[in-house]
Structure 1
């Protein structure tokens, strides 16, 4: 792969890019993306690939060697959610570490599909060297994804697993939900009734977490009594949890598919039946870490969004350097409880910064 040279020629105007109709379809959306003729990059659904590596081992694929002035565009779902704020912080940290410009933009909220597409298309037209995206759904950024692949630019997908990109940086989301169920199964009596607050409809990551939790609860001998949709929103999750608890007052465990919703669930639990309900979330945002320390939440699991953002930018820079990065950089979830929270997080609930993109060790 000769991306560095190709990128220089593209900038100078000396390279004429010929587009060939090499169409490939996204896994469930029917979206088509076309590679530029002679493009050495492969766009695939990374979560379907056996070509994977732990994102902690990304530095093993080669040395980052990019030109001064390299620019990476990052398009996130929103910055109103602390998870994505941490991804942003990690992405920008990678820019400082490697001396490149990283520009992060995001939609107003996780329901703003068309706004996010407008942001992405604008950044594509500004011709960055590489792109990191976290689509609201697996289809809403399809036109921008098509344009990026036609330009033969590195495209790193964070979290949403059903998108064709050069590399997917994320967990097996089914295992995320399953890990939450296993935790509750180990800490609750056999047959205990539990509840589930689901993420936004249309999010493959959310749907996979629900699948993993449902399967895991059955295997752990729990009784999944009821579920409701929280739409990744704290207030919605609060209302949904109150309703579920009123209908199922014997419930002793709740899994909310992200921490923003888990905060709402924890608040609702304290105001309904209160005592003895174990609330588990996903993401390890600072506010959730604070609740774990106080005992208002029992656990969360996380791929460490700060390091996920850092590694996503590094993956783009690796590809710009001509190095082969696997289709899937797997960020296996780490379970965070009161027993190990201080190992990974500081007093403010922020993941400990190693000064590089290398993860903190237990």
Structure 2
């Protein structure tokens, strides 16, 4: 009897699997990226288009600036009548829902800066496999189910920061702490990897690492604890400027004006990292462009010009210190 029952179960399961395979022929169910014509929604200059932009959160000034850059660039493209923005507020489930809503609305193109890679991969693949061109910004998803990825090289940026520590900030070595971004986001891992490459061969020791979730307030809290556990540190490597500023506030409260701080982003705004370098709170920051204007340009090529775009578009970076901060700030705000 037991053997017969097992056989029936096996037959039933096989039948269900076969039916699922037969019914699930739509490409989004395959778990793989399907070949797409990314220009299929192109109607030329006479078309009118709806774009959905799914943002990971708006707690970070960098992401507010990214959305602003997209709005500003889209206003210059008359065919982009409707650009809709959503804020996932650091919630992966909400961002999945946000993207599902854009799919339901049948947007002509999806832009997304994922909160974390793995949880957003399936829904981005679903959009892509349904024929929606997908522009991924800043943070990546797993696999290749997207039309183009636009972002700076986070490994190179981390290495650039590490080399500044090794060659300029702590040439004799020393103890430092690292404040990372959200652990499940790709820039956090890549900026750590690059930094390790940059300090290789030096006597710099990372005595502790904390997850600051990309936010100033969290960075301040984590730095307060780090200072208590490691009072002999000399510097802080922060994976973005807001966390660096939070760490600086914690150091001031702990009467540690001797500590040195390096961040990443270099936003050209009054509250951004470039001004923090100019004013002496940070010793350096590393430019990390938002890619907003480039995302709109990619959308224009795909939807208006009927042109292909590269699979990866790597944005440039530069080290910003007190020597060049004012010039970089002015240059980035031109136009």
| TM-score, length of structure 1 as denominator length | 0.76
Q: What CA distance in whole angstroms lies between the structure 2 residues aligned with 1:74 and 1:116?
A: 11
Alignment of 1:48-197 (within 5 A): 66-99=45-78, 100-107=80-87, 109-110=89-90, 112-163=91-142, 164=144, 165-187=146-168, 188-197=170-179
Residue pair 1:79, 1:106 contacting (<8 A) in 2 also:
no
State the Cα distance separating 1:107 from its structure 2 match.
2.5
1:231 lines up with 2:231 in the alignment: no
Partner of 2:183, secondary structure, is coil
2:37 is matched with 40
Residue pair 2:121, 2:141 contacting (<8 A) in 1 also:
no
Q: What CA distance in whole angstroms lies between the structure 2 residues aligned with 1:283 and 1:180?
A: 12
2:18 is matched with none
State the Cα distance separating 1:146 from its structure 2 match.
2.8
Q: What CA distance in whole angstroms lies between the structure 1 residues aligned with 2:252 and 2:207?
A: 19
Quick one: structure 1 residues 185 and 67, their matched pair in 2 at CA, closer, same or farther if it must change by over 3 Å?
farther
Residue pair 2:113, 2:140 contacting (<8 A) in 1 also:
no
State the Cα distance separating 1:22 from its structure 2 match.
5.7
Residue pair 1:75, 1:132 contacting (<8 A) in 2 also:
yes
Partner of 2:261, secondary structure, is strand
Q: What CA distance in whole angstroms lies between the structure 1 residues aligned with 2:279 and 2:61?
A: 19
Alignment equivalent of 1:331, drawn from 315, 321, 328: 315
Q: What CA distance in whole angstroms lies between the structure 1 residues aligned with 2:147 and 2:29?
A: 13
> Which stretches in structure 2 are left out of the alignment for 5+ residues?
1-23
Residue pair 1:156, 1:167 contacting (<8 A) in 2 also:
yes
1:218 is matched with 200
1:260 is matched with 242
Structure with the larger helix share: 2
Q: What are the Cα deviations for residues 205-259 of structure 1, in whole angstroms up to 9, with x where unaligned? A: 2111112112322344422222111122222211211222233223222111112
State the Cα distance separating 1:77 from its structure 2 match.
0.8
Which of the pair has more CA radius of gyration? Answer: 2
RMSD: 2.5
Q: What are the Cα deviations for residues 256-308 of structure 1, in whole angstroms up to 9, with x where unaligned? A: 11122111111112222423321111112332233212101111112322xx1
Q: What CA distance in whole angstroms lies between the structure 1 residues aligned with 2:29 and 2:315?
A: 26
Residue pair 2:28, 2:130 contacting (<8 A) in 1 also:
no
Residue pair 2:248, 2:261 contacting (<8 A) in 1 also:
yes
Deviates more, 1:138-147 or 1:190-199: 138-147
Partner of 1:98, secondary structure, is coil
Q: What CA distance in whole angstroms lies between the structure 2 residues aligned with 1:80 and 1:161?
A: 19
Residue pair 2:88, 2:98 contacting (<8 A) in 1 also:
no
Partner of 2:46, secondary structure, is coil
Quick one: structure 1 residues 66 and 193, their matched pair in 2 at CA, closer, same or farther if it must change by over 3 Å?
farther
Instruction: State the structure with bigger RCO (CA 8 A, min sep 6), 1 or 2.
Output: 1
Alignment of 1:18-33 (within 5 A): 32-33=31-32
Alignment equivalent of 1:313, drawn from 289, 296, 299: 296
Quick one: structure 1 residues 206 and 129, their matched pair in 2 at CA, closer, same or farther if it must change by over 3 Å?
same
Q: What are the Cα deviations for residues 173-213 of structure 1, in whole angstroms up to 9, with x where unaligned? A: 11121111111222223222111011112112211111211
1:345 is matched with 329
| TM-score, length of structure 2 as denominator length | 0.82
Tell me the number of residue pairs that the alignment of Structure 1 and Structure 2 aligns. 301
1:294 lines up with 2:279 in the alignment: yes
